[in-house]
Chain A
Amino acid sequence: MSETSVEIQPSSGGEFAREQVPSSKLKGWKSFLGMYAGEHAAGTEFMIGPLFLAAGASLKDLIFGLLIGNILAILTWRYLVAPIAVASKLTLYYQLEKIAGKHLVKVYNVVNGVLFCFLAGAMITVSASAVGVPFDVNFSVPENIFGLSSTSFSLIVVIVGIVMTIVAAAGYNTVSKFANIAAPWMIVVFAACGISALSQMEVDSWKSLLTEWDQSISVVQSINGKLEFGFWKIVIFAWLANAAMHFGMSDLSIMRFAKDTKAGWGPSIGMFLGHYMAWICASFMLAAQIKLTGDISANPGALAWSAVGWTGIICVIVAGWTTANPTIYRAGLAFQSLFSSKAKSYSGVILAGLVATAAGIFPALSGKLLDFVGFYGTILGPMGGVIFVNHYLAKKMNFKQDYAVEKGTGFNAAVLLAWVLPVTLGLYFIFAKGLFPAYAVIPCWIASSVLYVLIMKLQKS
């Protein structure tokens, strides 16, 4: 998952939040390579990598599936997000406000904020798993999604959550600077964990690695039953793990600083470090643990401790903390619109921190990250379809571009319908029919785009 530090102000404030980025502030595409390099090596990578193994993915499928999925994700940034970002030079939120109206954008912000809280909750769980290791507190994942782990683990989650909330409310910039310093170190520690895990498995050839991997899957399946996570499922997951950022156009807020559309290649290095190398290394750590102890639980703290000792513990805590912090902060800004103007500026952040901490207490939520990531993209992605239609098709199809601004309305019902109807249908298939959530992202995005065109044409706007 990605966290970015260029633009963290969802709806108000921030640099050029309600105006085009001036040409003097534009950056070349190489700046974006560096900017994204550390952004995709987050605390959740420690959790997602092992989940592939636990879900029964073969190593060959993982290596080639992630390769293709990541390439598709980069192409989506390059050819979908970058052209619109460079042309409009506006944040997602301001662009959406011009189309949907300021009241509907508030609804979008709150939904976005709630989803951010669950993501931050998973990061708090990841950090707490590492804090627990020196105190011999292990976290177990209960079957029930709202089941609790041990009392001592829940207590650690609460303490970690409160500390992260206070820091997010009081010192965002300090943590942001610390995150920049930690990013190269984290990436190297991820690699070291993977290499150490190979050594623990006593791998000396590609063939022996495949054998160890397959044996680990056999152990998992002997306990959890037969599971399948095939090639195309991996491709789709890797492609859409950041769907909210590319299909959902959230990264317009970053790429608006681009001189030209080459900035769309910016996520390349970051994606292959975080969503390729880090996921594969983290999955090796679980394979090694299974070989050494037979334990199939994906406990990030214990896995990193086993691989590189205290460095691993520090890395899991730092990775969770530095990514949970901006996530809580962003969610807080989204929630701030719920408070009166007299409320303290940190009220939203405190509320977001409390919700994230409450979510972090339930370890099964972080154990469902593969599902959550797709769920997140399904809900937020379709708004990107509306922006796409507004940018490319509105004038060609003779309906108003930036409808809310043109009509002076605060609420464009066409956007609401184009967003809510496909998402409701997508959620129905996910929850009632058991559809893998990432599969719903692109159909919902296309449906929203088509619906927005149809409704706008029907109302002759």
Chain B
Amino acid sequence: MKILKLISAVAIGGLILLASLLLFLGTIDASELKILTLVGTVLWFVVTPFWMKED
């Protein structure tokens, strides 16, 4: 279950929040942000129901 929680955290913390900060810092561009946030969204909704249901 810990690994699933970690994936969820990476999905929203890394692929959405951190990616938007990287855009702000000029490390990635807007189109890359849009792809990363979409991947983060899909990951979140695929993985989170498994551990949130248990909690």
Contact = CB atoms under 8 A, between A and B. Distances in A.
Interface of A: 180-182, 184-185, 188-189, 191-193, 195-196, 198-200, 308-311, 314
A314 B11 CA distance: 15
Contacts of A185: 11-12, 16, 41, 44-45, 48
Given A185-B48, A189-B37, A191-B17, 20 more contacts: A180-B52, A181-B48, A185-B16, A185-B41, A185-B45, A188-B13, A192-B20, A192-B33, A195-B17, A195-B23, A196-B23, A199-B24, A200-B30, A308-B20, A309-B34, A309-B35, A310-B38, A311-B34, A311-B38, A311-B41
Contacts of A196: 20, 23-24, 30, 33
Q: Is the interface of B mostly helix, strand, loop or mixed?
A: helix
Nearest to B19: A192
A179 to B, nearest CB: 11
A199 B23 CA distance: 7
Nearest to B24: A199
A159 B1 CA distance: 39
- Chain B interface category by residue count: 20 to 34
B12 A184 contact: yes
B12 A181 contact: no
Nearest to A200: B30
B20 A191 contact: yes
20 contacts: A180-B52, A181-B45, A182-B45, A185-B16, A185-B45, A188-B13, A189-B16, A192-B16, A192-B20, A195-B24, A196-B23, A196-B24, A196-B30, A196-B33, A199-B23, A308-B20, A308-B37, A309-B38, A310-B34, A311-B37
A311 B52 contact: no
A27 to B, nearest CB: 15
Nearest to B44: A185
Contacts of A192: 16-17, 19-20, 33, 37
